[in-house]
Structure 1
């Protein structure tokens, strides 16, 4: 990678070796630096992948939401980018940009006509649970034998599937899409219910030939999608196993090719494309047994599109063992599924949270193994497998009531669940949701579609910032809808709560949420991202009514004006130009600079100079993300009069305090010293870093 700033440092001081600059990873003064993550070839997309903190993304690909075609064309021209592909139904495009997309995103985000601009994130996938043993007694009674094999998940004490089948609810006429690694359409348990289509969104290729699909999909690492599909639609033919919706059809949509490793998920754009394709091709349920997404952007748009077309979106809660938000399960409108064991207890690994809908068997479930791995069946555990059971039960509802909305499907699953399961025997708890799904109870309750719960609501909150310079779109704001009367912290409180982030137009959208009265909380741009003073953020507290039957096209609307400072996407650094030692700006002991930025130039490096005497105890500090907010993970070099780096630091403190930088050094020679401020990514050559929120102040003191 061409690194002009560091090259200038080396060239101007002559004796400063590049390796010495990068030795910061192992020689901190004081503190430690995490191991740098180098860009590498992504196994699925053959693209260069970069990483910034927890964000893993395709380095030169940007995903943008656009308002119209002319806005997209104008943005591509301004950014000198190539439009690789679009998803016109949700007005999302993939751009190939020059340079690092994380940096370019900050420039793109402020272009007119773009709703958002994000690096094309790589999904990390759901962490599989630790081994849970097996159910030795799962075939203790004959009512656990389905087809040939024991499946406790379907017996009367769990999903109660046969009672639903006997009532005519078997999924006939309903199509389910499995967004996963390649499912085996040739497996004896799955072939009869394959809908005849499979889709690879990265290749934008539709397969209609099973042999070709298997040829392109077979891998020793691809089994997850087959397991998932079999729990939904394994055919009832007296052989192997049977799915909870044995007459439903299914389509595999590849979001993880799993060709050379188990986890090589496609990026965010292609997952969104797959979800939209599945919706357009008739899927009424989208199963997502994966996690690792974000709260807004292309996938949320795709799921909102699916729900607006009457398609339910089901997702696994996750296997984190914690009570926390994980995406896509926590997106508004998504049916989030937790995992139970054979005794109808929450499995320890199953993620908890207020957003959980219900639970289904997810430990030692008997599922189909792909033929390319020997076929047959295995006992499998994870919320990955409670989710497809939930998707299958949703298919039963759609069979009975094709006009049901996704919210109605969710609520009929919840209101017929066995609420005695979980920590609250009287209904909802954060561990199991409304309880254990029961397909038989649905069949008994849903004797006609008049028995469906009320339709859900769709909402849009538009935020505007009002500051000394006028009105601005309320970008990067946080919006919370909290149902009236919520008992904060209560594990048995079912009151709904939804969270969303505003886009570049100040809009936060909520799809298929519970109708009713809400407390509305709005806060200006997140200071952990943009930095700034707390009073500059602005807050609003009010009320909001979500109306049953409102839609994505005609949502319930609320306009909120915040007394808040609009984020500056094009800040002016008062010390530029100071990108070389010759341009270094003077700083003195006892001085703290005004706010400056690592922004505006490739691989930005800012130089400051001061005079020191022999014996001076020099202390230099970068106040950045840890102390000012913003997004700068700083790195600081101290260079002596001879041009050699004499101290350097990434994270201050021993043990580490935060990501700000600090060096201390006793001067061994009199003369001019230089301080060079940059980011960890630039210093460690793990990517360019040019966010407009990369703000910092430099503080210099003499300790003696």
Structure 2
């Protein structure tokens, strides 16, 4: 059995791996209270884990939401009205409902509530007191408060120069979306903003003891380490954060284990509404659209900078949310200002910060004190802290302006290109002191970023349709493809069910625009029916989320059929079986239209006939069907043979039955999906297949 996710719905959220070593719009309503399920079942599809009975829906209005809930037989249990996203609890498998839900009027997207994952790492050097981790061979300029922190010294973040210039983060609130940080830790309590939020409960905590008593678990430590990078108080004790007078809002997304993407989005919206000017995300993965992207777009539209770790995959690749348009993506450096080998590379990287053997605070429920810890999970919060310094100096700076200040003042000598950008370290190592020295007047801020909205439509013989499931790429002109030192921006995102693709807080300039129709790996179909467009668009400095630079793209393309007609229905039982003969391949048919659809075909054979029946599905036609095929005897009941995945060894997820008929008579082929064969529901308009029957002797 090969499980497949619905293309753009495959939104895996993976916490950036770590190894531990040594102001909102006025009048916007608050999110509605979610009702956590009494019990949840985690389902798996490929590398994606999700809550089996929870569907996340983007909706146009309340009426559309209620109709969607009714159509899937579900109940709306939570809303985020700011971004018009809702959580619907459904019977059956949410993943299998995504395609059919997206065809409903007023639905912008439908995804399963994908779970994030966390690698807690291991601590090899930790102590409850400063005496347990001494300065050893550290130079004097690396001792901050009591403990050595090379990350802050003049050769790295150069923090003291910024502090001496008055840039301490004072007046700036940052949010950390992570596991629950220890608001009682002596290094963190002085800068706790007095609120902490658990999206799963929709509960705001204002009492440190209550928060700690509820969340103190051995598995919860990551958020404490992350927060201390940013806001550990400068009080002569323990360690100090790079923005030691900024305030901090903890937002939970692990406790332990995973929260779904809906709750991450809810947390980001709550943080924005509660004054966070920077949101740190030390997690990454394939979250490329849906509620999380909407929530970060909402944050940036309201002036909140969003920072994310590049990830720890060792590869040059897109990781989400770091690759989302408008985010500041942070890579990791070691003490020698070299890229750490695990740090993910890519064109979307912004800059880098220390992320190996960083001295950070350990939760009191683990004994307190401090530990040496590594990962891009910790370069990201250092970047968040430096962003807070910029926003203290220039509170009106937009997210793109904050990003460019960090990049323009980074140490470009770090990395493989000593004169500027490279895909390993971005624009170089962050330097807070240089920012303090150069950003003396907010009139010196770089130009504002741009916001772009691309509307896609399909035109075919039946008319014009919304450009659902299209891929949209903005590629800066003059890009040198493959060059590791080319900073030309590249942004990509899929369209929603309305055919809309948004790019928030991107670099202004002229872009080559590439649009391709529905992804055939999702929908299936012929390559020449996809449709493409190549053109240009100018992203204007100062355009906003609410007044973006817009472009309409009309593709001559076959629109995805979200309500296909099976030419052989009804053929659900042997009595209704459709005819098929040796040497014949059926037209395209569908496992669709009911929760458990079985399509039955019959043929006549002679004793000794060696037959091969092939169910050509996702692997050979595209689409979503992980097929399952039965051969039934003349009674229409007895299973003579069955197959899930063809080949020995296995080739792919399509099905093939090879069998020698024992006697002359009428035999039956029953086609369905693997999911249905396991007793679960499966109904997708992209569950397409063709049945081929051959006599091989």
Q: TM-score, normalised by structure 1?
A: 0.91
Residues 1:432 and 2:430 are matched in the alignment = no
Of 219, 229, 232 in structure 2, the residue corresponding to residue 231 of structure 1 is 229
Of 636, 639, 655 in structure 1, the residue corresponding to residue 629 of structure 2 is 636
Residues 1:652 and 2:646 are matched in the alignment = yes
Of 649, 653, 665 in structure 2, the residue corresponding to residue 671 of structure 1 is 665
Deviation at 1:66, TM superposition (A): 1.3
Residues 1:572 and 2:565 are matched in the alignment = yes
Q: Which runs of 5+ in 1 are unaligned?
A: 1-24, 26-31, 35-42, 259-263
Structure 2 match to 1:185: 183
Q: Render the CA deviation track for 1:181-233: whole Å, top value 9, x for unaligned.
A: 00000001000000000000110100000000001110010000000000110
Give the direction of change, closer, same or farther, for the CA distance of 1:137–1:241 in structure 2 (3 Å limit). closer
Residues 1:497 and 2:490 are matched in the alignment = yes
Residues 1:682 and 2:676 are matched in the alignment = yes
Question: What is the aligned-residue RMSD (CA, Å)?
Answer: 2.1
Q: Tell me the distance in 2 between the aligned counterparts of 1:293 and 1:256.
A: 18
Any residues of structure 2 matched to 1:115-194 within 5 Å, and which?
115-125=108-118, 127=119, 139-194=137-192
Q: Render the CA deviation track for 1:638-675: whole Å, top value 9, x for unaligned.
A: 23346443332222233333222222222233333222
Structure 1 match to 2:553: 560
Q: Tell me the distance in 2 between the aligned counterparts of 1:660 and 1:221.
A: 41
Any residues of structure 2 matched to 1:101-112 within 5 Å, and which?
101-112=94-105
Deviation at 1:581, TM superposition (A): 2.5
Structure 1 match to 2:21: none
Structure 2 match to 1:199: 197
Structure 1 match to 2:210: 212
Q: Tell me the distance in 1 between the aligned counterparts of 2:449 and 2:273.
A: 22
Give the direction of change, closer, same or farther, for the CA distance of 1:33–1:598 in structure 2 (3 Å limit). closer
Q: Tell me the distance in 2 between the aligned counterparts of 1:616 and 1:76.
A: 50
Farther-moved stretch of structure 1 (413-422 vs 226-235): 413-422
Contact 1:481/1:499 (<8 A) preserved? yes
Q: Tell me the distance in 2 between the aligned counterparts of 1:684 and 1:344.
A: 53
Q: Which runs of 5+ in 2 are unaligned?
A: 5-35, 127-132
Deviation at 1:129, TM superposition (A): 7.0
Q: Tell me the distance in 2 between the aligned counterparts of 1:474 and 1:251.
A: 39
Query: Which secondary structure state, in structure 2, belongs to the residue aligned with residue 343 of structure 1?
Result: coil
Contact 1:366/1:378 (<8 A) preserved? yes
Structure 2 match to 1:20: none
Any residues of structure 2 matched to 1:488-637 within 5 Å, and which?
488-637=481-630
Structure 2 match to 1:270: 263
Structure 1 match to 2:50: 57
Any residues of structure 2 matched to 1:83-482 within 5 Å, and which?
83-125=76-118, 127=119, 139-258=137-256, 264-482=257-475
Q: Tell me the distance in 1 between the aligned counterparts of 2:323 and 2:694.
A: 47
Contact 1:128/1:382 (<8 A) preserved? no
Q: Tell me the distance in 1 between the aligned counterparts of 2:62 and 2:114.
A: 23
Q: Render the CA deviation track for 1:486-530: whole Å, top value 9, x for unaligned.
A: 111111111000001111111000000000010000011111001
Q: TM-score, normalised by structure 2?
A: 0.91
Q: Render the CA deviation track for 1:605-639: whole Å, top value 9, x for unaligned.
A: 22222222222221111111111111111122223
Q: Tell me the distance in 1 between the aligned counterparts of 2:121 and 2:338.
A: 16
Q: Tell me the distance in 1 between the aligned counterparts of 2:449 and 2:38.
A: 38
Query: Which secondary structure state, in structure 1, belongs to the residue aligned with residue 116 of structure 2?
Result: coil
Contact 2:517/2:555 (<8 A) preserved? yes
Q: Render the CA deviation track for 1:569-603: whole Å, top value 9, x for unaligned.
A: 11111111222222222211101010001111112
Deviation at 1:33, TM superposition (A): 9.5
Structure 2 match to 1:47: 40
Q: Render the CA deviation track for 1:395-430: whole Å, top value 9, x for unaligned.
A: 010000000000000111111111111122221111
Deviation at 1:131, TM superposition (A): 8.9
Give the direction of change, closer, same or farther, for the CA distance of 1:398–1:569 in structure 2 (3 Å limit). same
Q: Tell me the distance in 1 between the aligned counterparts of 2:150 and 2:451.
A: 38
Contact 2:475/2:513 (<8 A) preserved? yes
Contact 2:616/2:692 (<8 A) preserved? yes
Q: Tell me the distance in 2 between the aligned counterparts of 1:122 and 1:33.
A: 17
Query: Which secondary structure state, in structure 2, belongs to the residue aligned with residue 216 of structure 1?
Result: helix
How many residues are matched? 660
Q: Tell me the distance in 2 between the aligned counterparts of 1:367 and 1:610.
A: 70
Farther-moved stretch of structure 1 (440-449 vs 471-480): 440-449
Q: Tell me the distance in 1 between the aligned counterparts of 2:45 and 2:615.
A: 19
Contact 2:135/2:143 (<8 A) preserved? no
Contact 1:102/1:691 (<8 A) preserved? no
Deviation at 1:535, TM superposition (A): 1.2
Of 64, 71, 84 in structure 1, the residue corresponding to residue 64 of structure 2 is 71
Deviation at 1:379, TM superposition (A): 0.8
Contact 1:279/1:311 (<8 A) preserved? yes
Q: Tell me the distance in 1 between the aligned counterparts of 2:125 and 2:189.
A: 30
Query: Which secondary structure state, in structure 1, belongs to the residue aligned with residue 174 of structure 2?
Result: strand
Farther-moved stretch of structure 1 (577-586 vs 485-494): 577-586
Q: Tell me the distance in 1 between the aligned counterparts of 2:418 and 2:38.
A: 48
Deviation at 1:452, TM superposition (A): 1.2
Deviation at 1:437, TM superposition (A): 0.9
Query: Which secondary structure state, in structure 2, belongs to the residue aligned with residue 211 of structure 1?
Result: helix
Q: Tell me the distance in 2 between the aligned counterparts of 1:446 and 1:239.
A: 30
Give the direction of change, closer, same or farther, for the CA distance of 1:255–1:171 in structure 2 (3 Å limit). same
Q: Tell me the distance in 2 between the aligned counterparts of 1:620 and 1:280.
A: 59
Q: Tell me the distance in 2 between the aligned counterparts of 1:288 and 1:45.
A: 28
Contact 1:124/1:291 (<8 A) preserved? no
Contact 2:3/2:626 (<8 A) preserved? no
Deviation at 1:81, TM superposition (A): 2.9
Farther-moved stretch of structure 1 (610-619 vs 567-576): 610-619
Q: Tell me the distance in 2 between the aligned counterparts of 1:617 and 1:78.
A: 45
Contact 2:123/2:371 (<8 A) preserved? no
